[in-house]
Amino acid sequence: MDTTIVREAQRVAVLAAREAGVLLKKLFEKLDSSAFQHKDDSGDLVTEADHQAEAIILAKIRQAFPGHQVISEEAGDNRLASDWLWLVDPLDGTNNFAVGMPLFAVSITLMYQREAVMAVIYEPLTDRLYEAAANGGFRCNGRLIRIGEPRPFKKATVGWIQGHKVQQEQRAVRLRQHLDANTKRMMRLWAPTLQWSMLAKGDLDAIILYNSEGEDLYSGMLMVREAGGIITDYEGRPFTGMSREPYLIACHPQHLPFFRGLVHNGLVGK
Instruction: Please report the pLDDT score of residue 37 as a whole number.
Output: 55
Is 73 annotated for ligand binding? yes
Report CA 131 to chain centroid distance, whole Å.
12
**What gap in Å lies between CA 81 and CA 43, rounded to an integer?**
33
Largest CA distance in the chain: 54
Residue 91 assigned ligand-binding role? yes
Residue 192: Cβ within 10 Å count: 28
> Phi, psi (5° rounding) for residue 95?
-65, -35
Q: 41 labelled as ligand-binding?
A: no
* pLDDT of amino acid 31: 72
| 226 known ligand binder | no
What pLDDT score does 39 carry?
Answer: 53
> Is 226:130 a contact under the CB 8 Å cutoff?
no
Buried b (16+ CB within 10 A) or exposed e, 43-58: eebbbebbeebbbbbb
Give the distance, in angstroms, between the CA of residue 17 and the centroid of all CA atoms in the same chain.
Answer: 14
Residues in the chain with pLDDT < 50? 34, 42-43
Say if residues 7 and 136 touch (Cβ distance below 8 Å).
Answer: no
Could you tell me the pTM of the whole model? 0.92
DSSP letter at 196? H
Give which of 197, 185, 193, 186 is closest to 229, Cα–Cα: 197
Per-residue burial over 125-148, b if 16 or more Cβ lie within 10 Å, else e, is: eeebbbbbbbebebbbeeeebebe
Q: For residue 249, what are the contacts with CB-CB under 8 A and spacing of at least 6?
A: 206, 207, 208, 209, 231, 232, 233, 234, 236, 256, 259, 260, 263
Q: What order of strands is seen across the sheet that includes strand 115-123?
A: 76-77, 69-72, 84-92, 105-112, 115-123, 128-133, 137-140, 143-145
Buried b or exposed e, range 74-113, using 16+ CB within 10 angstroms: bbeeeeeeeebbbbbbbbbbbbbbbeeeebbbbbbbbbbe
Domains of the chain: 3-145 (3.30.540.10), 157-268 (3.40.190.80)
According to the model, what pLDDT value does residue 43 have? 45
pLDDT of 160: 97
pLDDT value of residue 41? 54
> Phi/psi class of residue 213: alpha, beta or left (left: φ > 0; alpha: ψ in -120 to 50)?
beta
According to the annotation, is 2 in a ligand binding site? Answer: no
| The CA-based dihedral angle spanning residues 191, 98, 74, 223, taken in that order and rounded to the nearest 10 degrees | -20
In angstroms, rounded to a whole number, what is the distance separating the alpha carbons of residues 260 and 141?
Answer: 32
The Cα–Cα gap between 88 and 56 comes to 11
Tell me if 205 sits within 8 A of 255, measured CB to CB. yes
